[in-house]
């Protein structure tokens, strides 16, 4: 669990974290619960046991959480996440659009199915969840005792919203899409006091990229891309997400916060170009 001093920055708020049975989403769910939020732990439907363990860890730390399985690329299932959340907790204050995956292939070998699966989950899934969240935020409006904003949406993007990635065209296209989806939503929703931002993680140790950090050789190679000299931990993202969801970032909207140890500083240019 991240140590964040437990200052209850999200007290009384309800957070849906998509894809929070594992990796970054799990750390975000735990960090938000540690700050007083009631958390919905979502997974695709295939990770029930892992999701229950996340809920158990939150409850053991004195927090509040439930599991709602749903495929974020399915409109009816997304509506179900929100309906069940509102039934259990009354409303939604924070959405973390985190669910995502990779289906890697050389460009010329990439199948339409690999392309569509990644775009459907990583981009359309974020649209569907954000739309339902914004509808609920607009319906409810600001509750001053909880937050200065009517609602907060945090999109899990990637350094690959700006760094091209050979062998991962579908993934890079999905994250590039998330960048302008996020900014366009932020522009449209700001007058309604809804804040929309992204986090752009660099390399974080999770199952999605295990082969990139699992062995000492792989980790050494990865570190050549990270000026700060360490691979990221899921809690690095959890703590950033708490800040973006809290009133400490009340004047921040339409921004990607890169949490990447400097990966977007293009370290290959450090010794010339």
- Catalytic residue positions, numbered: 171
Task: Output DSSP code: residue 145.
Answer: T
Interface with ligand NAD, residue 124, by CB under 6 A: no
Tell me the C-alpha to C-alpha distance, in Å, between residue 223 and each of 75, 82, 213.
39, 40, 9
The contact mask relative to ligand NAD for 41-60 (x = CB under 6 A, - = no) is -xxx--x-------------
State the minimum distance, in angstroms, from the CB of residue 11 to ligand NAD: 26
State the minimum distance, in angstroms, from the CB of residue 8 to ligand NAD: 25
Q: From the CA atom positions of the chain, what is the Rg in Å?
A: 18
HSE-CB for 104 with a 13 A CA cutoff? 7
Angle subtended by helix axes 48-60 and 23-34, to nearest 10: 30
Pick the piece of the chain touching ligand NAD (CB under 6 A) from 161-169, 186-194, 196-204, 242-250. 196-204
Burial of 1 (0-12, 13-18, 19+ CB in 10 A): middle
Pick the piece of the chain touching ligand NAD (CB under 6 A) from 4-12, 19-27, 29-37, 182-190. 19-27
Nearer to ligand NAD, 48 or 270 (CB): 48
Residue from 35, 71, 93, 236 binding ligand NAD (CB under 6 A): 71
DSSP labels, 78-102: HHHHHHHHHHHHS---EEEE-----
Pick the piece of the chain touching ligand NAD (CB under 6 A) from 29-37, 104-112, 203-211, 265-273. 203-211
Pairing of strands 14-17, 38-43: parallel
Residue ranges in contact with ligand NAD by CB under 6 A: 18-25, 42-44, 47, 71-73, 98-101, 121, 156, 158, 201, 203-204, 206-209
């Amino acid at each position: 669990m991240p140590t964040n001093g437990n200052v209850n920055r999200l007290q009384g708020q309800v957070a849906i974290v998509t894809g929070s049975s594992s990796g970054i989403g799990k750390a975000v769910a735990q960090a938000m619960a540690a700050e007083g939020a009631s958390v919905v732990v979502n997974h695709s439907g295939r990770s029930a046991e892992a999701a229950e363990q996340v809920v158990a860890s939150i409850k053991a730390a004195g927090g509040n959480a439930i599991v709602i399985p749903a495929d974020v690329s399915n409109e009816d299932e997304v509506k179900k996440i929100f309906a069940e959340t509102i039934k259990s907790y009354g409303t939604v204050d924070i959405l973390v659009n985190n669910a995502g995956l990779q289906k890697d292939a050389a460009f010329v070998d990439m199948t339409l199915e690999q392309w569509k699966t990644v775009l459907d989950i990583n981009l359309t899934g974020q649209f569907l969840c954000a739309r339902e969240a914004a509808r609920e935020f607009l319906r409810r409006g600001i509750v001053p005792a909880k937050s200065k904003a009517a609602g907060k949406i945090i999109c899990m993007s990637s350094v690959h919203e700006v760094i091209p990635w050979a062998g991962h065209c579908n993934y890079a296209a999905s994250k590039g899409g998330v960048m302008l989806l996020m900014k366009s939503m932020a522009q449209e929703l700001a007058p309604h006091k809804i804040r929309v931002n992204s986090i752009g993680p660099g390399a974080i140790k999770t199952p999605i990229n295990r082969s990139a950090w699992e062995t000492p050789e792989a980790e050494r190679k990865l570190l050549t891309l990270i000026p700060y000299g360490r691979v990221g931990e899921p809690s690095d993202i959890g703590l950033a997400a708490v800040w973006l969801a809290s009133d400490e970032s009340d004047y921040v909207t339409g921004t990607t916060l890169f949490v990447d140890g400097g990966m977007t500083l293009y370290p290959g240019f450090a010794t010339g170009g």
